[in-house]
């Protein structure tokens, strides 16, 4: 079943102009998905594409497909049909510019340049006669075609709609818009006529590429588009997994392997469904690229050039012919910060996820809505306590679970008598307090004994925490932060509204523990082994923070998380 049409689509008829729609007060971003049919010469599009994409981004809010058909005429007597255009360097350069532009000008859009009608050197092309299904059926079709009156000329719009539905499976209530972006039509002298631009790309039957493909971004799309333009029949893609992810920045935030494969497959089938795709896990730097005898070409980026050369060296050792190496240029990231890479990368995208809501918290009807309680956790050496103090300075009421633990053990604490009954009177000092060292010697080497202790103490700490939350509510406090290393192990996420986790790479955590506590490296590693891993914590958290960089960077993360939290709380009151 097709998705229900958006409200604006129901109100905007085929005969109404885009300008009329704006005059009626409709939102500029009215459609979840759309297809942009570009009819200008490729050389002219290169100069106009930023303005065109900016205009389109005001109408489409999620997925924007781009269909290249230079020279398409929508004002003639005959209904136009899609035709093949050759895969040239000019086409590839335009595709690269589209993706490079979207990363900086309309980053909210998932742009996909369709290559269905781009013909490479292969003589075995299927005729363009079938309607292609897209993963997000377009609700609106846009075009850069200029009608004779410069406005929303109805016959042109009708031809555009018929043309689009003859190419792609669209939403049944398809709406058409003739874009009028603010750009000057370039003079002929301004249009590039380099002979190299029309040079055909050298295609071959079987092509290979590899990567992590985490959070499929513009640089990935440029690489994959190059692969599709070069491939005649089969594209083999290795997707990094397991050991190859260990050295990645914020590896805990990398999407699961199957999720990355699914997104990759969807993108590839959308842009070039005629190819055969083979996606395999990449568990070492080479994968099947050094063993597959029918491969002809490997696509690499500037930073993976050495990897391509290493593949060819291994192939020669395996008595296989070398692969042609096609290198694509890296795309600079105009939005990078001081701790991010100069190029568009998944690492930078993961850094930008810090402090953001990774997924909405589940509504907990068993606890009061006010104050709003954040459960802050993290492994030893992660910087959790420093973040808790930063949040306290911003106005949060801090609940320190370590202090509550000491209170629970105190002679008047809720766990005092039970602990003595369970572990014996010899754990009591002369002053009546529990000797934690003696108690520790009884439980820390015995998992069953440790569980008996936590079964007593953890519920007692939760009771004390609830009392402090109730006191904060009585004082009119808006936000509480419960600082608790064992928040998840103890099941205390049931008494908070959101879980925030601080993470740090294990080598850095080991160094911090050694410096802070004066213990050996082995002792520090053993301590981490007895805790939940970063990945386990992240999987159960709503917000993630990292204290790896300078304190100023941590402060920016905390401020971002705090500001977004305020927005969520405000919206929940509406």
Shared domain for 393 and 517, answered yes or no, is yes
More confident site: 467 or 447: 467
Quote the CA–CA distance of 139 and 20 in Å, as a whole number: 18
Shared domain for 234 and 111, answered yes or no, is no
The answer, yes or no, to whether residue 15 has pLDDT greater than 70, is: no
- Of the given ranges (121-130, 239-248, 534-543), which has the lowest mean pLDDT? 121-130
CATH number (domain holding residue 339): 3.40.50.620
Query: What would the DSSP string read from start to end of 15-57?
Result: TS-HHHHHHTT--S--EEEEEEEE-S-HHHHHHHHHHHHHHHT
Shared domain for 544 and 464, answered yes or no, is yes
Structural domain containing residue 359:
353-573
Residue 24 lies in a domain: no
Shared domain for 363 and 337, answered yes or no, is no
Residue 510 lies in a domain: yes
- Of the given ranges (5-9, 285-289, 435-439), which has the lowest mean pLDDT? 5-9
Residue indicated by tokens 């990078």: 336
Confidence of residue 27 (pLDDT cuts 50, 70, 90): very low
Quote the CA–CA distance of 57 and 36 in Å, as a whole number: 11
Could you tell me which of 235, 254, 237 has the C-alpha nearest to residue 245?
Answer: 254
Query: What would the DSSP string read from start to end of 342-394?
Result: SB--HHHHHHHHTTSBSSPPPP-TTS-SSSEEEEEEE-TTS-HHHHHHHHHHT
417-445 mean pLDDT = 90
Chain length of the chain: 574
Q: Return the SS3 of 529.
A: helix
pLDDT of residue 487: 98
Record the tokens describing residue 433, joined without a space: 């307090």
pLDDT of residue 186: 47
The dihedrals phi and psi of 459, each to the nearest 5 degrees, come to -60, -35
The dihedrals phi and psi of 446, each to the nearest 5 degrees, come to -135, 110
Q: Look at the chain and report how many structural domains it folds into.
A: 3
| 52-77 exposure pattern, b = at least 16 Cβ within 10 A, e = fewer | bbbbbbbbbbebbbbbbbbebebeee
Could you tell me which residues come within 8 angstroms of residue 443 by beta carbon, excluding any fewer than 6 positions away?
423, 449, 450, 452, 453
Residue indicated by tokens 């999720």: 259
Query: What number of other Cβ atoms are within 10 A of residue 148's Cβ?
Result: 9
- Of the given ranges (117-121, 250-254, 265-269, 289-293), which has the lowest mean pLDDT? 117-121
429-451 mean pLDDT = 89
pLDDT of residue 398: 98
- Of the given ranges (278-292, 419-433, 458-472), which has the lowest mean pLDDT? 419-433
Shared domain for 41 and 158, answered yes or no, is yes
Could you tell me which of 153, 133, 181 has the C-alpha nearest to residue 33?
Answer: 133
Shared domain for 336 and 358, answered yes or no, is no
pLDDT of residue 79: 87
Q: Return the SS3 of 88.
A: strand
Record the tokens describing residue 300, joined without a space: 């690499």
Residue indicated by tokens 């080991």: 510
Shared domain for 523 and 544, answered yes or no, is yes
The answer, yes or no, to whether residue 329 has pLDDT greater than 60, is: yes
Sign of CA pseudo-dihedral 189, 190, 194, 198 = negative
The answer, yes or no, to whether residue 55 has pLDDT greater than 80, is: yes
Residue 361 lies in a domain: yes
Q: Which of 160, 178, 196 is the last residue of a domain?
A: 178
Confidence of residue 259 (pLDDT cuts 50, 70, 90): very high
Shared domain for 148 and 116, answered yes or no, is yes
Shared domain for 361 and 502, answered yes or no, is yes
Shared domain for 325 and 434, answered yes or no, is no
pLDDT of residue 154: 83
Cα 28 to Cα 8, 9, 11, 58, 143, distances in angstroms:
10, 12, 14, 5, 16
89-93 mean pLDDT = 95
Query: What is the 3-class SS of 382-431, one letter each residue?
Result: CCHHHHHHHHHHCCCEEEEHHHHHHHHHCCCCCCHHHHHHHHCHHHECCC
Residue 333 lies in a domain: yes
Residue 487 lies in a domain: yes
Count of alpha carbons within 13 Å of 48, Cβ hemisphere only? Answer: 25
What is the average pLDDT value for the chain, to the nearest integer?
89
Residue 102 lies in a domain: yes
Query: What number of other Cβ atoms are within 10 A of residue 543's Cβ?
Result: 24
Residue 186 lies in a domain: no
CATH number (domain holding residue 55): 3.40.50
Could you tell me which residues come within 8 angstroms of residue 422 by beta carbon, excluding any fewer than 6 positions away?
452, 453, 456
Residue 14 lies in a domain: no
Q: Which of 319, 343, 367 is the last residue of a domain?
A: 343
Report strand pairing: 118-119 vs 110-114. unpaired
The answer, yes or no, to whether residue 291 has pLDDT greater than 90, is: yes
Q: Please, are residues 139 and 164 in contact by the beta-carbon 8 Å criterion?
A: no
In 3-state terms, the chain is what percent helix, strand and coil (to 5)?
45, 20, 40
More confident site: 343 or 16: 343
The dihedrals phi and psi of 194, each to the nearest 5 degrees, come to -65, 135
pLDDT of residue 447: 87
Could you tell me which of 249, 257, 241 has the C-alpha nearest to residue 346?
Answer: 249
Could you tell me which residues come within 8 angstroms of residue 447 by beta carbon, excluding any fewer than 6 positions away?
none
Q: Please, are residues 119 and 87 in contact by the beta-carbon 8 Å criterion?
A: yes
- Of the given ranges (90-104, 188-202, 537-551), which has the lowest mean pLDDT? 188-202
Q: Return the SS3 of 557.
A: helix
Q: Please, are residues 239 and 212 in contact by the beta-carbon 8 Å criterion?
A: yes
CATH number (domain holding residue 366): 3.40.50.300
pLDDT tens by residue, 159-201: 999 999 999 999 999 999 998 765 554 444 344 445 566 889 9
Q: What is the pTM of this model?
A: 0.88
pLDDT of residue 339: 92
Shared domain for 517 and 550, answered yes or no, is yes
Shared domain for 373 and 520, answered yes or no, is yes
Judge if the upstream peptide bond of residue 371 is cis by omega within 30 degrees of 0: yes
Query: What is the 3-class SS of 231-270, one letter each residue?
Result: EEEEEEEEEECHHHHCCCCCHHHCCCHHHHHHHHHHHHHH
Q: Which of 343, 361, 394 is the last residue of a domain?
A: 343
Strand partners, 375: 482, 499
pLDDT of residue 148: 61
Could you tell me which residues come within 8 angstroms of residue 424 by beta carbon, excluding any fewer than 6 positions away?
none
């Amino acid at each position: 079943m097709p998705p229900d049409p958006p409200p604006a689509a129901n109100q905007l008829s085929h005969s109404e102009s885009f300008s009329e729609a704006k005059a009626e007060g409709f939102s500029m971003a009215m459609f979840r998905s759309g297809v942009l049919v570009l009819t200008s010469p490729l050389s002219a599009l290169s100069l106009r594409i930023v303005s065109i994409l900016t205009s389109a981004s005001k109408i489409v809010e999620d997925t924007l497909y781009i269909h290249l058909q230079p020279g398409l005429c929508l004002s003639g007597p005959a209904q136009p049909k899609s035709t093949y255009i050759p895969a040239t360097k000019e086409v590839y350069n335009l595709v690269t510019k589209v993706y490079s532009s979207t990363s900086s000008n309309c980053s909210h859009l998932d742009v996909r340049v369709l290559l269905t009608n781009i013909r490479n050197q292969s003589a075995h092309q299927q005729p363009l006669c079938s309607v292609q299904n897209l993963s997000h059926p377009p609700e609106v079709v846009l075009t850069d075609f200029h009608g004779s009156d410069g406005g929303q000329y109805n016959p042109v719009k009708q031809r555009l709609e018929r043309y689009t539905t003859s190419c792609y499976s669209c939403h049944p209530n398809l709406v058409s818009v003739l874009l009028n972006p603010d750009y000057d039509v370039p003079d002929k002298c301004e249009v590039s006529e380099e002979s190299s631009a029309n040079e055909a790309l050298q295609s071959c039957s079987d092509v290979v590429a590899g990567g992590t493909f985490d959070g499929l971004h513009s640089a990935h799309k440029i690489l994959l588009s190059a692969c599709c333009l070069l491939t005649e029949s089969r594209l083999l893609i290795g997707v990094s997994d397991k050991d190859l992810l260990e050295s990645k920045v914020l590896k805990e935030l990398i999407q699961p392997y199957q999720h990355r494969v699914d997104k990759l497959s969807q993108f590839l089938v959308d842009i070039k469904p005629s190819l055969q795709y083979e996606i395999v896990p990449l568990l070492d730097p080479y994968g099947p690229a050094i063993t597959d005898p029918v491969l002809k070409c490997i696509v690499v980026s500037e930073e993976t050039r050495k990897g391509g050369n290493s593949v060819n060296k291994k192939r020669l050792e395996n008595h296989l012919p070398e692969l042609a190496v096609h290198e694509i240029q890296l795309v600079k990231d105009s939005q990078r910060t001081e701790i991010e890479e100069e190029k568009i990368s998944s690492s930078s995208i993961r850094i930008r996820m810090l402090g953001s809501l990774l997924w909405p918290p589940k509504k907990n009807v068993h606890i009061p809505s006010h104050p709003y309680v954040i459960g802050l956790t993290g492994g030893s050496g992660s910087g959790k306590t420093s973040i808790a103090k930063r949040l306290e300075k911003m106005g949060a009421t801090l609940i320190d679970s370590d202090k509550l633990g000491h209170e629970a053990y105190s002679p008047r604490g809720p766990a005092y008598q039970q602990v003595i009954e369970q572990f014996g009177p010899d754990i009591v000092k002369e002053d009546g307090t529990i000797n934690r060292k003696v108690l520790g010697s009884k439980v820390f080497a015995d998992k069953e004994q440790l569980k008996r202790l936590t079964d007593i103490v953890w519920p007692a700490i939760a009771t004390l925490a609830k009392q402090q939350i109730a006191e904060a509510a009585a004082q009119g406090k808006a936000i509480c932060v419960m600082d608790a290393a064992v928040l998840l192990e103890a099941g205390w996420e049931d008494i908070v509204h959101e879980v925030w986790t601080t993470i740090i790479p294990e080598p850095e955590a080991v160094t911090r523990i050694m410096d802070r506590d004066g213990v050996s490296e082995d002792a520090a590693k053993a301590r981490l082994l007895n805790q939940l891993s970063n990945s386990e914590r992240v999987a159960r958290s709503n917000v993630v923070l990292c204290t790896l960089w300078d304190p100023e960077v941590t402060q920016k993360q905390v401020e971002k998380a705090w500001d977004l939290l305020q927005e969520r709380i405000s919206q929940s009151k509406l």
